[in-house]
Amino acid sequence: MKKYLEEFSKEEILGFLDDYSKSDSRLANAIKVHFCDPGYDEELDKMKKAIDVALEGVYDYSTRDSWGNVNFCTGDIISEIRTRLKQGHIRLAFAETVMLYRELLNLFEYQGECEISMEAEYCIEIMSDIADAANSNEDKEHIFGQCIMLSEIKDGKDYGADYEDELLGIAAKLVTLDNRAELEDALNRVEVNRLEESIVLIQLGIIQKFDGAEATQEFINENLRFQKIREMAYETAMLHEDFTEGERLCVEAIATEARSYGISPWMYRLFTVYEKAASVDEMVEAARKIVFLGNMEYYDKLKSLLIECGTWDNGYRDFLRECEARMHYMYYMKVLAKESEFTLLLGQLKKHTREIYVYGELLAKEYPADVLGIYINQINREAKTATKRSMYKSVCENIASFAKMGYHSDAIDLILGFQMAYRHRPAFIDELNLLNAYLKTTI
């Protein structure tokens, strides 16, 4: 664009901008924002009007879209704030952001999903950027005080506007020895509930900034019940190769977690502790727990460790029995498949016939008759319980996979039988006819 404009004289460009800005208020405002030194009160008055226009109608439920969401746009407002920030007008940019933020809080009860809260959170992000850009002590102190004030207003709280931790986190970036007590008092006034960990992390940051390593470590040790604090302690222990401390942190976390499913991330960290410490026996035990809880990615690690310990060959059968006893059948079947224990796998398959679609091809060569029988029985069960087209499609997809396993003629026979047995289910017959036509082209 610059190269293009260079082809015109200054007078031509100025004349165009002057004429165009008379008919386009957005262009006129953009030129004024970019080139003119702003008057503080005048700019705030103008911003208030722009915000009122942008948010007009949010109260009116008749203006919502078909999903019930509020439609509004603050793009021009945000752009102007960003321009003021870029120009170095720190207080003006912050005041305009606060003005928009507070208006959004007043509208929280009217949002359909998260459209207003997302905009409010973006305002907090801008406030943080402005705080980072502040250079003068006066600007920093002003933003510090504003953030504490904003953290204590009640607007929108009944509708989920809980941003105290984020606002006090911005204040914490600007905290000094002189205003530290003011911030700590504000932190103590927060109703902790779900924000408790965030508040503790802000307190930790203050202690790290002013009180030194010993006080920091003491605070961390007193607050290990918080996940992120414990993670920090773990990282510190591993950095200093204090594997005893790393193990303690992991074991305590695992013992106190109320986990009803899945594998604790602390179990993986515990394995890492033992791995770094080269404690093979402990690695085996940790890997064993991880595998038995269902993470098969650790199976090869466990097997390698058992081979390294010299216990794999002699303990193999006991290990398989332990897998059967402690693992979910799906994971136990994966172990059997990995170890080519096809007879045992077939025994499991007869108990859990749905897994035929996973292991049928693997077992078909050695046990063709058994696999055939399991396939037919499983597909018959599914056909009997199918009641809608999506279920009929699923049955037909399974018949197709059955045919690909080498049972093409058996699949055709199955289709013909279903066409007779379920002739009063037109959607099923439609899907069977499509499958039959397809299979005839693959002979």
Residue extents of the structural domains in the chain: 15-190, 355-441
What is the pTM (predicted TM-score) of this model?
Answer: 0.73
Give the per-residue pLDDT at 405: 85
The distance from CA 182 to its chain's CA centroid, rounded to whole angstroms, is 35
**Cα distances (angstroms) measured from residue 306 to each of 269, 285, 326:** 20, 10, 18
Distance CA 73, CA 130 (A): 22
**Selection from 155, 46, 33 nearest residue 95 by Cα:** 46
Give the per-residue pLDDT at 413: 92
Give the per-residue pLDDT at 20: 64
For 262-286, letters b (16+ CB in 10 Å) and e give ebbebbebbbbbbbeeeeeebbbbb
Give the per-residue pLDDT at 61: 67
CB atoms within 10 A of CB 70: 21
pLDDT beneath 50: ranges in the chain = 33-34
Give the per-residue pLDDT at 205: 96
Report whether 307 contacts 319 (CB < 8 A). Answer: no
Distance CA 237, CA 244 (A): 8
* Residue 219 host element (H or E): helix 212-222
Give the per-residue pLDDT at 299: 95
Count of CA atoms in the C-beta half-sphere (13 A) of 425: 20
Give the dihedral of Cα atoms 229, 232, 234, 240; nearest 10 deg: -140
